[in-house]
Chain A
């Protein structure tokens, strides 16, 4: 999941964004989602990362970049 998220973030310009918000879905643990946020922060140290519960079905992770 981490690899997929990082490559998707890179593809949509994670490096230029200031804020990444990760919304984790039903069936994903908060800890898992925070782990993903931590990995993104390691790749882009200036990126501010927020992890929120979305609770959405069918989509383990939904994110936004601003």
Chain B
């Protein structure tokens, strides 16, 4: 069994800060490129520095995940939010510091993804408010703006939780205020004190939020904010950006009759578990299967490989034959995909398009991923589907675009994931239409809500009926464990190669992006 990771293990990894401290000291030995005040161009470079630093640490931030399931995407969400901010500021061109800050805030607001991205966008919004009218930023401007950033972020959250990015923002702003109070006038020195305070604040997050301590991690959003601030400081010393490649982002998709047809040669799916002979490797599997099948996927763990391959009618038995040459076949399963598709098309003809809505009616805009789910919500009357879910949180902008595209002014939004909720709320606020967010936390909950959709009713009535429908459904999900951990008294064990134990129980649902713990003993999600 894999060794259980303890709080100490992971905590120490974050606490191994000597390296960070040394890096800061090295920076301090250098000569800052900033003077006593920074202009708009320097602010943009600082934001780019923050983005670059966070991007370099993205996987580390993603790994700071309370539940050992693949949904750690805080780092990715924050990077994409920063990227949207910087893209907008670059497109607008540099002018005053206030102008650049406003552009950064605007970009972040639209590009925000996930709850941490939404909070980050609120921080930028507050910072921009605090810098209004500033041609250049002096230490006292920066301190004032950080305070306003912190306040704006708190206001944007219904129930602020400590031990999160909010706490780190508070500590950073407090340190800046204290430094200015002591008469500090160099904006670089101020930023350095802010970075140190943020670092210590991140380290304290497990003491404030028990679920972090239990999982042995520091807060991911707080860590992301630290890296952004640290990157800004590096930029103040003229450090070259580590990485400034724009990232491919997914755009919303409004499905218009998804295809159910199979491609040529995909009549069968065969799954084989095989223990490779000594000296054989997954490369050999690929060499053997590439000539006979398509969509080849090979997973490996503990010397056992699981092979997925699609084959044309008539070749489905060849897989086991050819694989016998490189090892011992432990298990094989065949599935006739063509027959399945034909049965499904026969039984449940897929609707040609999302529901048509008339002006004045109430339309449902739904966030979902997976062809089956998209087909289901479409057939239940969704007017538009924004593709997204765990590990692929849609941006505020993509939700907003879907809301704008439906030909009515009345919209209910179903985010269907706790980590999409804040972005949906932000989109609702930014939209000129009448939009209500119904806080469905999973697609099955969204489906229950859709069943209560009556397009002839007003937004408020529909939202109220949907919220009531949600209450009758409990939902849960299984995901493969990404690490071994003990949470709420349940051991989750990650064991490669042992399929019965590679599934974790997701206890208490996911945290709502801010690491909210569910009471022990309350497992699964939803009400009822």
> Are B474 and A29 in contact (CB-based, < 8 A)?
no
> Are B479 and A60 in contact (CB-based, < 8 A)?
yes
Specify the chain A residue showing the minimal Cβ separation from B523.
A11
Residue among A3, A12, A21 with most chain B CB within 10 A: A12
> Are A62 and B369 in contact (CB-based, < 8 A)?
no
* Binding site secondary structure of chain A: mixed
Interface contacts (Cβ under 8 Å), in number, total 121
Does B20 touch A at the CB level, under 8 Å?
A: no
> Are A11 and B524 in contact (CB-based, < 8 A)?
yes
Specify the chain A residue showing the minimal Cβ separation from B500.
A3
A11 CA / B522 CA spacing, docked (Å):
8
> Are A58 and B71 in contact (CB-based, < 8 A)?
yes
> Are A63 and B499 in contact (CB-based, < 8 A)?
no
Interface members, chain B 270-329 (any A CB < 8 Å): 271, 297, 308
A11 CA / B475 CA spacing, docked (Å):
11
> Are A1 and B271 in contact (CB-based, < 8 A)?
no
> Are B475 and A64 in contact (CB-based, < 8 A)?
yes
Q: Which residues of A contact B340 (CB under 8 A)?
A: 30
Interface members, chain B 477-528 (any A CB < 8 Å): 477-480, 499-500, 502-506, 523-524, 526, 528
Q: Which residues of B contact A45 (CB under 8 A)?
A: none
Q: Which residues of A contact B442 (CB under 8 A)?
A: 62, 64
Does B445 touch A at the CB level, under 8 Å?
A: yes
A56 CA / B444 CA spacing, docked (Å):
12
> Are A53 and B372 in contact (CB-based, < 8 A)?
yes
Contact A59 B478, CB 8 Å, known A12-B523, A52-B372: yes
Contact A62 B505, CB 8 Å, known A12-B476, A55-B372: no
Interface members, chain B 441-498 (any A CB < 8 Å): 442-445, 447-448, 472-480
> Are B505 and A8 in contact (CB-based, < 8 A)?
yes
> Are B370 and A56 in contact (CB-based, < 8 A)?
yes
A64 CA / B477 CA spacing, docked (Å):
9
Q: Which residues of B contact A27 (CB under 8 A)?
A: 297, 308
Interface size class of A (residues with CB under 8 A): 35 or more
The 0/1 profile, CB within 8 Å of A marked 1, for residues 376-393 of chain B is: 100000000000011110
Does B371 touch A at the CB level, under 8 Å?
A: yes
Contact A58 B372, CB 8 Å, known A31-B333, A64-B445: no
| Interface size, chain B (Cβ < 8 Å) | 47
The 0/1 profile, CB within 8 Å of B marked 1, for residues 31-63 of chain A is: 100000000000000000000111111111111
> Are A64 and B448 in contact (CB-based, < 8 A)?
yes
A56 CA / B271 CA spacing, docked (Å):
19
Specify the chain A residue showing the minimal Cβ separation from B508.
A11
Q: Which residues of A contact B373 (CB under 8 A)?
A: 23, 54-56
Q: Which residues of B contact A55 (CB under 8 A)?
A: 370-374
Q: Which residues of B contact A56 (CB under 8 A)?
A: 369-370, 372-373, 389, 443
Contact A66 B473, CB 8 Å, known A11-B524, A58-B71, A60-B503: yes
> Are A61 and B478 in contact (CB-based, < 8 A)?
yes
A2 CA / B444 CA spacing, docked (Å):
20
Does B269 touch A at the CB level, under 8 Å?
A: yes
Q: Which residues of A contact B528 (CB under 8 A)?
A: 65-66
Specify the chain B residue showing the minimal Cβ separation from A62.
B477
A9 CA / B473 CA spacing, docked (Å):
13
Does B70 touch A at the CB level, under 8 Å?
A: yes
Q: How far is the CB of A31 from chain B (nearest CB, A)?
A: 6
Q: Which residues of B contact A60 (CB under 8 A)?
A: 478-480, 503
Specify the chain B residue showing the minimal Cβ separation from A5.
B478
Does B92 touch A at the CB level, under 8 Å?
A: no
> Are A4 and B476 in contact (CB-based, < 8 A)?
no
Specify the chain B residue showing the minimal Cβ separation from A2.
B500
Does B335 touch A at the CB level, under 8 Å?
A: yes
> Are B372 and A9 in contact (CB-based, < 8 A)?
no
Q: How far is the CB of A48 from chain B (nearest CB, A)?
A: 14
Residue among B71, B297, B443 with most chain A CB within 10 A: B443
Contact A57 B505, CB 8 Å, known A12-B524, A64-B445, A64-B475: no
A29 CA / B391 CA spacing, docked (Å):
22
Specify the chain B residue showing the minimal Cβ separation from A12.
B524
A8 CA / B391 CA spacing, docked (Å):
22
Q: Which residues of B contact A2 (CB under 8 A)?
A: 500
Contact A26 B370, CB 8 Å, known A4-B478, A56-B389, A58-B71: yes
Q: Which residues of B contact A5 (CB under 8 A)?
A: 478, 503
A63 CA / B370 CA spacing, docked (Å):
14
> Are A57 and B370 in contact (CB-based, < 8 A)?
yes
Residues of B with Cβ closer than 8 Å to A?
70-71, 269, 271, 297, 308, 333, 335, 340, 344, 369-374, 376, 389-392, 442-445, 447-448, 472-480, 499-500, 502-506, 523-524, 526, 528
Q: A29-B271, A62-B476 are in contact. List 10 more A-B contacts (CB 8 A).
A: A9-B476, A23-B370, A23-B444, A27-B297, A53-B344, A54-B376, A57-B369, A58-B391, A64-B444, A64-B445
Could you show 18 A-B contacts with beta carbons less than 8 Å apart? A8-B505, A13-B474, A21-B444, A23-B370, A25-B370, A27-B297, A30-B340, A31-B335, A53-B371, A54-B373, A57-B391, A58-B479, A63-B444, A63-B475, A64-B475, A65-B476, A66-B448, A66-B474
Residues of A with Cβ closer than 8 Å to B?
1-5, 7-9, 11-13, 17, 21, 23, 25-27, 29-31, 52-66
